[in-house]
Amino acid sequence: MSEQIATFATIFFSMILVNNYVLVQFLGICPFLGVSKKLDSSFGMGMAVIAVMVIATAVTFPLQIFLLDAFALGYMQTIIFILVIAVLVQLIEITLKRYIPALYQSLGVYLPLITTNCCVLGVTILAVQDYSAIVQESGFGLAFAQALVCAAGAGVGFLVAMLLFCGVRQRVENANPPESFKGLPITLVAAAITSLSFMGFGGLVENIINAIL
Amino acid sequence: MNPIVLAIVVLVVLGLAGGFILVLAAKFMAVYEDPRIAQITDCLAGANCGGCGYAGCADYAKAIVEDGAPTYKCAPGGDKTADAINRIMGAEESDRPSLRATVLCAGGENCGTRFDYQGVQTCAAAAAVAGGPSACAYGCLGLGDCTRACKFDAIHVVNGVAVVDRSKCTGCTACTAVCPRGVIQMKPIAPQPAVKCSNRDKGAAVNKICKVGCIACGLCVRNCPQQAIFLKDNVAAIDYTKCNGCGTCVTKCPKKAIQWVEGAPRPIDAPVPEHEVL
């Protein structure tokens, strides 16, 4: 049992630190640079991304196993996943608007933005890549649970990256870089350095969790 | 089955299923939205500048329809937009007190400094260093964050304090949002007196650091024929719903902290220019 917990914890925390989608795998850079100007908007975007990632993985993972793999349609993965994510985001938006208008208001424009977020598509595709082998080994249930944990970790990782970079960015705004570096160039340099710092987490999580359990 | 046909069938079925779910969701979870909201959104300037105090044009339109917000608040749209909205709402023409940015500080060179600030030349950065370099903890820092925020070239730093050119100001509130000290506020467009001081310290403390700071002596309160002035947090405040712009307070104020809203800050001894006297 503790081995299972260790696996899940490793997946979750390595998605946040070691395989951080934004800072290590360089997916979803557009919202990362576009929405990180203000703390509250980056928080809203991060929460929306967490929700959509988990729900999208919950739908696409069974779809891949039971439909695409079963009928040898693996090459249709990208287009079908995009279709599913677009429908899902719309559906979430309609549902939120009806039942939780306050949350709908605070997420605002970020929810529809996620429709075309490569980060979300990346999570669904990579989850299938990494965990579909486990389906044969130890059944669909475990693989599905691991994929969901992976998606949640990826979402939290996105949120962490957004919040951290938001702080970095406010520091950069108050600094006085050379004229030609002002604006996007210095932001990209700052993003690169932030990303570099995350490279330092490689191998860390597994060792820590093995040591604890 | 032919794999190409299968692929097409799967995609079409998934697409149709998704579309069907969305149609059902939109139907069963529809939120009734007043059609006037969309009409009013079309009338508004569409710049999403936030000058009305709402989070964009659509939000303001919603507030008009649902909360009965005033119809004249779109500064870029002006009277034309207000008339169009009134037509949609079937409302009578309402009073339209336009607001313009007003700097509630006349300090600048009249105000001392606590230390020589050599850092990044923005108000936001200066205000973050040990409470800011100016002797007054409430006043204008004069480093021009507002000037850079203004899209209409309407606010400039003159003699160390920001001054609004009211002929250019559109009331968009960009400067009020960016000022770290919050000394820029929206006041009615008519030429009226304004208390050009935000210092909430006691009079004696204000006297030491600023030549034109409000010391909350209450002379203006006692002399205002309209009873439009009151003291709050050791600063005089003018109730513009009562003020008729008679200018008694401007002449009575011993510190010249109450000034006509246009024009550069005056040295304390200079007489009030004739064109500014009503």
Average pLDDT, chain B: 81
For residue A209, tell me if it sits in a domain.
Answer: no
Contact B25 A67 (CB under 8 A): no
Cα A99 from Cα B29, distance rounded (Å): 8
Torsion of CA B83, B89, B90, B91, to 10 degrees: -70
Asked if B102 contacts B188 with a C-beta cutoff of 8 angstroms, the reply is no
Cα B232 from Cα A77, distance rounded (Å): 66
ipTM of the complex in this document = 0.73
Q: Write down the pLDDT at residue B93.
A: 59
Q: Which of A44-48, A122-126, B67-71, B241-245 holds the top average pLDDT?
A: A122-126
The radius of gyration computed from the CA coordinates of chain A, to the nearest angstrom, equals 18
Question: Residue A98: what are its φ and ψ, rounded to 5°?
Answer: -80, -45
Task: Show residues of chain B in contact with A174, CB under 8 Å.
Answer: 120, 122, 124-125, 128
C-alpha pair distances (Å), B175 with each of A37, B129, B145, B183, B265: 18, 21, 8, 10, 19
Q: What value does the mean pLDDT take over residues B190-215? A: 86
Claim to verify: residue B137 and residue B44 sit in the same structural domain: no
Please tell me if residue A174 touches chain B, with a CB cutoff of 8 Å: yes
For residue A45, tell me if it sits in a domain.
Answer: yes
For residue A150, tell me if it sits in a domain.
Answer: yes
**pLDDT higher than 50, residue B268:** no
Q: Write down the pLDDT at residue A155.
A: 93
Residue-wise pLDDT tens digits, B179-189:
999 899 887 76
Residue-wise pLDDT tens digits, B84-114:
888 888 766 555 556 778 888 888 888 888 8
Secondary structure element (H or E) that encloses residue B208, with its range: helix B203-209
Claim to verify: residue B106 and residue B66 sit in the same structural domain: no
For residue B8, tell me if it sits in a domain.
Answer: no
Q: Write down the pLDDT at residue A44.
A: 80
Beta bridge partners of B124: none
Q: Write down the pLDDT at residue B95.
A: 57
Domain of residue A27 covers 23-204
Residue-wise pLDDT tens digits, B224-234:
888 889 888 88
- Say what the pTM is: 0.57
Please tell me if residue A109 touches chain B, with a CB cutoff of 8 Å: no
Please tell me if residue B16 touches chain A, with a CB cutoff of 8 Å: no
- Mutation site for A-interface testing, chosen from B1, B2, B8, B10 by largest number of A Cβ within 10 Å: B10
Q: Supply A172's token pair.
A: 């950069």
Name the residue facing A91 among B25, B122, B125 (closest C-beta).
Answer: B25
Q: What value does the mean pLDDT take over residues B3-10? A: 88
Pairing of strands B229-232, B155-158: unpaired
Segments of chain A with pLDDT less than 70:
1, 106-109, 213
- Orientation angle between helical segments A118-174 and A2-13, nearest 10 degrees: 60
Please tell me if residue B120 touches chain A, with a CB cutoff of 8 Å: yes
For residue B115, tell me if it sits in a domain.
Answer: yes
The percent of residues above 70 in pLDDT, for chain B, comes to 88
Q: Write down the pLDDT at residue A76.
A: 86
Q: Supply B55's token pair.
A: 């989070």
Closest to B224 measured CA to CA, from B256, B198, B201, B246: B246
Domain total for chain B? 2
* CATH number of the domain bearing residue B270: 3.30.70.20
For chain A, where are the alpha helices, taking DSSP H only?
A: 2-13, 29-34, 39-63, 77-99, 101-107, 110-113, 118-174, 184-199, 204-212
- Which amino acid is residue B240, in one-letter code? Y
Contact A95 B25 (CB under 8 A): yes
Cα B245 from Cα B183, distance rounded (Å): 22
How many CB pairs (< 8 A) connect A and B? 51
Domain total for chain A? 1
Claim to verify: residue B245 and residue B174 sit in the same structural domain: yes
**pLDDT higher than 80, residue B171:** no
3-state secondary structure B119-164: CCCCHHHHHHCCCCCECCCCCCCCCCHHHHHCCCCCEEEECCEEEE
Please tell me if residue A189 touches chain B, with a CB cutoff of 8 Å: no
**pLDDT higher than 70, residue B154:** yes
For residue B29, tell me if it sits in a domain.
Answer: no
Please tell me if residue A178 touches chain B, with a CB cutoff of 8 Å: no
CA distance B132 to chain A (A): 15
Beta bridge partners of B259: B194
State the pLDDT confidence band at B271, using cuts at 50, 70 and 90.
Answer: very low
Claim to verify: residue B123 and residue B85 sit in the same structural domain: no
Q: Which of A151-160, B42-51, B172-181, B259-268 holds the top average pLDDT?
A: A151-160
Claim to verify: residue B72 and residue B134 sit in the same structural domain: no
Q: Write down the pLDDT at residue B246.
A: 80
User: CA of A90: which chain B residue's CA is closest?
Assistant: B22
Claim to verify: residue B74 and residue B186 sit in the same structural domain: no
Domain of residue B271 covers 99-276
